[in-house]
Structure 1
Amino acid sequence: MTPVNSFQVDLRGLVDLLSHHLYSSPRVYVRELLQNAVDAVTARRAWQTQQDAEPAAEIRIRLTASAGRVSIEDSGIGLTAEEAHSLLATIGRSSKRGGSGAVDELHGLETARQEFLGQFGIGLLACFVVARQIRVVTRSARDPKAAPVEWLATDDGSYTVRELPDEARPEPGTTVYLEARPGAEEWTAPARVEQLARDFGALLPYEITFEDGTGEAPRPITDRPAIWDRAFPTPTARRVALAGHCAQLFGFTPLDTIDLDLPVAGVRGVAYVLPEPTSPAHRSGHRVHLKGMLLTEKADNLLPDWAFFVRAVLDTDSLRPTASRENLYDDETLAAVREALGARIRAWLADLAASEPERLAAFLSVHHLGVKSLARHDPELLGLMLPWLPFETSDGSVSLEEFAAAHSDIHFTRTVEEFRQIAPIAAAHGLGVINAGYTYDADLLALLPTVRPGIKVTELDAGAVTDRLDPVPTSAELALAPFLATARTRLEAQSCDVVLRAFQPVAVPALYLDDRQARQERDRAAAEESADSLWTGILGALRGSAPRARLVLNHNNPLVRRIAELPDEALTATAVESLYGQALLMSQRPLRPADSTLLNRAFLGLLEWATHSPEAKEDRA
């Protein structure tokens, strides 16, 4: 028969694992001490309820720190010698986990177990991240005849258990003493321990006090009820108090506050609206307490991604922690809570739109990007926000509601550069164009016809702009036919047509227009030129009949008319190339190698003409 062996645990290796890999910082040892004390008191209350026993005379959790030493005393359930062997020195076994006789005896009901903070059975041994020695003096409340017990462990992996005389601990409960390891003294300094205790334990359900060994009166650690659950004389007083809490917690005064109350999910808290814009890519760190104990200050999976304009703080008893208890386990429960919290933020926006438009306007002036992100997935909200969300348009910065009222046919550009080139001309000729080059705007414009039937939204193309510009009289265009033929021939290699129109502003000599299909065709042609024989055939087969780019010459511009009257055909061609290059640069599109070559040729050609013209020679003379 094959012998069965047991795993062995190297405590030094475990401490290294905890301190360097599981926990982000040694600071968590204070949380472990508080957690064990709170769970011990909770266990005693649950046992007393089950046994109909007299409650403890005092619920007591006292944390003390002095140079190199930390202790915590509680009036909780306590342990017998057997339980100290079984629970304190066994990795992975928790007195709070179901499925064992110890739990049934200690707590009775599964519902009681849900009140506990600890779940993973690491517990007290995690204190070895800062401690050289851990001493526990405990007495069981369940067994009045059991003597007090001392459990003494060192970081070399050894421990002892011995019974003590009754006077060593007359009352049930537990006291834990830590002696700092060399190099960890900073973590046991009284000021540091007190601050960590406040960070972790301010919302714990029992009164916890701290003493620094100087003889001063104990100072309270807990500060309950949570500020969002307190009663205030007026809504304004509550808002002021929450703003102060946010400033103390996060370092900013919020633009507004949003209550996050989900009783069914056991979640209570607030979200603070950031007073300044932030990037949609920024993942805010939210502050989450689990049954009053601070779990994390960096929960980035608590709210939907679109809610990047708030920082939240809440307490929950339903969400699962990770093994390190420093973040939330991303499961179906968290997904449901995240969706419900998002709905609360959405409802807050709807309430502002319905009853407090001034506050909504102030919010959108800072965070319109976040609302646009949300509205992409919520047509109802988009319809609600249409009168408020600002867009950059050819009519200026206006809402979609205002713009749609003025333009039944809405055009948009996909890039900011294209819009900047087109907007002045579009405005002068009554063409409604929206800049969709900013984040989320193109998505919202695609949804606009679903919330405002009858509105037509199309991407701007060269034909739409050209059709809105004033045509040139036929006689004038016929007179310029030789010039236009020269221009078209010269730009044929650039896959660009030339048309003549009259438009405002007069100062713009030429306008370069194309659309997505034209750009795709140019990219295909450029790839075909540089491809091998196999890909040349494939790309050639993909050649389409897409409209080509257009160089629209402005007949109102004096420079264009002078170029059209030049007698030298070669100089005319060079001038046309210069107009093309200037319009291309104004559109801020990426230059292809062929475009760069043309610009260089036109620039050098004009220099050549300038330095050899009769006027230049006369000037030199």
Structure 2
Amino acid sequence: MSRSFGVDLRGIIELLSQHLYGSPRVYVRELLQNAVDATTARGAGIGPRVLVETPDVTGDGTLRVSDNGIGLTEDEVHTLLSTLGRTSKRDELGFARQDFLGQFGVGLLSCFLVATEIRLVSRSVHGGPAVRWVARYDGQYDVTVDNDARAEVGTTVTLVPGPDTRHWLEHGMVAALAREFGELLPAEIQVDGEVLTVPELPWSRRPGESTADLRERLSGYCERTFGFPPFEVLPLDMPAVGLTGAAFVTADAAHPGARQAHRIYLKRMLVGDSVEGLLPDWAYFVRCVVNSSALRPTASREALYQDETLLAIRDELGAVIKDWLVRLGATQPDRASALLARHQLGMKSVALVDDELLRLVEHWLPFETTDGNVTLRQFRRRHSTVLYTPDVDEFRQLAPVAQAQGLGLLNAGYAYDSDLLKRLVEVDGQSAARRVVARELLAAMDAPEPLAEKELLASVRLAEAVLQRHECEVVPRAFDPVSLPALLITDADNERHRDAERVGEDSDPLWAELLGQLTSSTSTASRQLVLNTRNPLVRRLSELTDRSLAELTVESLYVHALLQSRRPMRPRDTAALNRSFLDLLDRAVRR
């Protein structure tokens, strides 16, 4: 035996207020939406009008909303108003009709967020007597035929507030909400006799208006709506998806993780002014205001439904922004450079998948290099192959040495930089860019002069013995700048080999053997301390007769080079830092 589900109306109201709608303020939107849909259903030629009367006019504390729409018969009242989820806004097959704002059949229930009783009087355009419907918060309703209740075709809804919700029906609140949600609706909306609707969309070009005047007017609209003067205004017109509006590029730098906040209208009814998901993630520096007839709202009508239409519109809007960026780089290079500097993360991210923007970034975005802050194109003109390091600290360490040796080095340690250079290799070939290995600098350094090398031979052997516990080899070289006594070069492969050895010591034999095969290396040193034989301090190492002082000096040079490299310090390195500093301090004090 089949049975029907029972519905607890109070539970449904609690569900709407706490989980579906973000605030009771949406009741005004739902009332306006139902009224405008009723006028749409009646058809053209009637002069659609919605009259809202607050307690200032009604005089009894109630709110009254009247329209000259299609109206309801007694049967329609029973079928549509008293069944949760049933809506008149569907075709004969049950599919949602696209010319209406609402599609879900729960809008009128939102009035219970602020009212304990809803009274409705309606006369249908199809004839028959007027009908009175009264619904209460406890789930009970009455329907009576009252031919004197309303003379004209249309509907009047009256809300009786609860003791704690009267402020939601006050004139100031209702007028503000009606203007916010409905000022662009294609019907005349009045609140206590004041017309709130405007005849045109704010971004539509007025007769005889120039492009410059339109941009100035939209810039003012952006400041009022989003709170910032735009860097650029991009008109949006996509007839295929029924979308018009404007995109505003922010003048100030924005964080890539910031929430997108767009102002969205669906069929000229405001969905929200902080709606996300309209643009691709990389376009975080753009804010939009649009009206669309194709996008679908969620059941709460406070967000957009993620469907194929939204994905297509998102891609199309992304293409509009990208095309504008390319044109800007070709026609206004100074503005393009300024924009890229402010929004470089977003530009870099899209340049990874778009060759046109890759060229734009290459031409106008500055990078940190040994030649100063220059664009990638300028750097490539000076150096046939872009040598780069993906680590900021490594660049800081190697840049002075590379510059002194006449090598060009680029810092690719920031977000997307390494990926951009890899993409450049894919587009322009293997010779376009290459990651530099720190050991390559050894090949560019001069061998020490024979006399200096001979004088330092004993010191180098002493240094190797001292630094053996740090797994560090010692290599003498002659390089600039002379002021740098030593350079620490780290071999990442050998560091992994050392780490694997330590793990293997505590592992079972099979796992230890596997680690050994994966990390086999011909060299056991994970670091190299390159002593600069041109540096006066290094040259004086050979003059030290006190072995303990010589060992202390070597360890101090190692710690100094380690700090210069900005590498993480291991416990043994921290111990060496403390030991060398305190011992040198003790020697200085005892003198």
- Does the TM-score normalized on the shorter chain lie above 0.5? yes
Structure 2 residue aligned with 1:590, among 562, 568, 587? 568
Equivalent residues of 1:353, 1:385 under 8 A apart = no
Give the C-alpha shift of residue 93 in structure 1: 0.7
Q: TM-score, normalised by structure 2?
A: 0.93
**Paired AA for residue 593 in structure 1:** P
Partner of 1:12: 10
Q: Which moved more, 1:526-535 or 1:426-435?
A: 526-535
Structure 2 residue aligned with 1:478, among 454, 463, 472? 454
Is 2:26 the counterpart of 1:33? Answer: no
1:48-197 to 2 correspondence within 5 Å?
55-56=45-46, 58-66=47-55, 68-99=61-92, 113-143=97-127, 146-166=128-148, 168-197=149-178
1:121-174: CA deviation from partner (whole Å, max 9, x where unpaired)? 11211111111111111110122xx111111111111111112234x3221111
Give the C-alpha shift of residue 611 in structure 1: 5.0
Q: Against the structure 1 CA distance between its residues 96 and 589, is the aligned structure 2 distance closer, same or farther, given a 3 Å change threshold?
A: same
Partner of 1:573: 551
Q: Against the structure 1 CA distance between its residues 123 and 461, is the aligned structure 2 distance closer, same or farther, given a 3 Å change threshold?
A: same
Q: Against the structure 1 CA distance between its residues 259 and 71, is the aligned structure 2 distance closer, same or farther, given a 3 Å change threshold?
A: same
Equivalent residues of 1:228, 1:270 under 8 A apart = no
1:221-300 to 2 correspondence within 5 Å?
221-222=197-198, 224-231=200-207, 233-300=209-276
**Paired AA for residue 83 in structure 1:** E
Partner of 1:599: 577
Is 2:531 the counterpart of 1:553? Answer: yes
Identical-residue share of aligned pairs (%): 47
Give the C-alpha shift of residue 421 in structure 1: 2.1
Equivalent residues of 2:205, 2:214 under 8 A apart = no
Task: For 1:418 and 1:462, locate their aligned partners in 2 and report how far apart those are by CA, in whole Å.
Answer: 8
Give the C-alpha shift of residue 515 in structure 1: 4.6
Task: For 2:115 and 2:366, locate their aligned partners in 1 and report how far apart those are by CA, in whole Å.
Answer: 58
Task: For 1:232 and 1:477, locate their aligned partners in 2 and report how far apart those are by CA, in whole Å.
Answer: 84
Give the C-alpha shift of residue 244 in structure 1: 0.8
Task: For 1:607 and 1:592, locate their aligned partners in 2 and report how far apart those are by CA, in whole Å.
Answer: 23
Task: Give the total of aligned pairs.
Answer: 585
Q: TM-score, normalised by structure 1?
A: 0.89
Partner of 1:107: none
1:513-554: CA deviation from partner (whole Å, max 9, x where unpaired)? 225434433443454466576654443343322763222222
Partner of 2:183: 202
Give the C-alpha shift of residue 226 in structure 1: 3.3
1:435-477: CA deviation from partner (whole Å, max 9, x where unpaired)? 1111111110111123434634222222222222333223321
Equivalent residues of 2:494, 2:521 under 8 A apart = no
Give the C-alpha shift of residue 26 in structure 1: 0.9
The alignment partner of 1:352 has SS state of helix
Q: Against the structure 1 CA distance between its residues 601 and 532, is the aligned structure 2 distance closer, same or farther, given a 3 Å change threshold?
A: farther
Q: Against the structure 1 CA distance between its residues 99 and 546, is the aligned structure 2 distance closer, same or farther, given a 3 Å change threshold?
A: farther
Give the C-alpha shift of residue 260 in structure 1: 2.8
1:337-375: CA deviation from partner (whole Å, max 9, x where unpaired)? 111111111011011012122321221231122111110
Task: For 1:304 and 1:569, locate their aligned partners in 2 and report how far apart those are by CA, in whole Å.
Answer: 65
Equivalent residues of 2:484, 2:532 under 8 A apart = yes
Q: Against the structure 1 CA distance between its residues 609 and 541, is the aligned structure 2 distance closer, same or farther, given a 3 Å change threshold?
A: farther
Task: For 2:385 and 2:583, locate their aligned partners in 1 and report how far apart those are by CA, in whole Å.
Answer: 44
1:283-432 to 2 correspondence within 5 Å?
283-432=259-408
1:356-395: CA deviation from partner (whole Å, max 9, x where unpaired)? 2232122123112211111011123202331111211111
Q: Against the structure 1 CA distance between its residues 526 and 508, is the aligned structure 2 distance closer, same or farther, given a 3 Å change threshold?
A: farther
Equivalent residues of 1:283, 1:305 under 8 A apart = no
Q: Against the structure 1 CA distance between its residues 435 and 231, is the aligned structure 2 distance closer, same or farther, given a 3 Å change threshold?
A: farther
The alignment partner of 1:458 has SS state of strand
Give the C-alpha shift of residue 248 in structure 1: 0.8
Is 2:471 the counterpart of 1:507? Answer: no
Give the C-alpha shift of residue 25 in structure 1: 1.0
Q: Against the structure 1 CA distance between its residues 221 and 69, is the aligned structure 2 distance closer, same or farther, given a 3 Å change threshold?
A: farther
The alignment partner of 1:582 has SS state of helix
Partner of 1:42: 40
Q: Against the structure 1 CA distance between its residues 279 and 515, is the aligned structure 2 distance closer, same or farther, given a 3 Å change threshold?
A: farther
Task: For 1:430 and 1:231, locate their aligned partners in 2 and report how far apart those are by CA, in whole Å.
Answer: 63
Task: For 2:207 and 2:483, locate their aligned partners in 1 and report how far apart those are by CA, in whole Å.
Answer: 66
The alignment partner of 1:387 has SS state of helix
Equivalent residues of 1:460, 1:515 under 8 A apart = no
Task: For 1:241 and 1:356, locate their aligned partners in 2 and report how far apart those are by CA, in whole Å.
Answer: 22
Equivalent residues of 2:90, 2:97 under 8 A apart = yes
* Structure 2 spans left out of the alignment, 5+ residues: none
Equivalent residues of 1:72, 1:175 under 8 A apart = yes
Q: Against the structure 1 CA distance between its residues 483 and 223, is the aligned structure 2 distance closer, same or farther, given a 3 Å change threshold?
A: farther
The alignment partner of 2:364 has SS state of coil
Partner of 1:106: none
Task: For 2:318 and 2:135, locate their aligned partners in 1 and report how far apart those are by CA, in whole Å.
Answer: 48
Equivalent residues of 1:383, 1:451 under 8 A apart = no
**Paired AA for residue 493 in structure 1:** R
Give the C-alpha shift of residue 303 in structure 1: 1.0
**Paired AA for residue 171 in structure 1:** E
Task: For 1:437 and 1:546, locate their aligned partners in 2 and report how far apart those are by CA, in whole Å.
Answer: 29
Equivalent residues of 2:340, 2:361 under 8 A apart = no
**Paired AA for residue 390 in structure 1:** P
Backbone CA RMSD of aligned residues: 2.2
The alignment partner of 1:358 has SS state of helix
Q: Against the structure 1 CA distance between its residues 460 and 526, is the aligned structure 2 distance closer, same or farther, given a 3 Å change threshold?
A: farther
Give the C-alpha shift of residue 609 in structure 1: 4.1
The alignment partner of 2:65 has SS state of strand
Equivalent residues of 2:485, 2:531 under 8 A apart = yes
Q: Which moved more, 1:80-89 or 1:458-467?
A: 458-467
**Paired AA for residue 511 in structure 1:** L
The alignment partner of 1:227 has SS state of coil
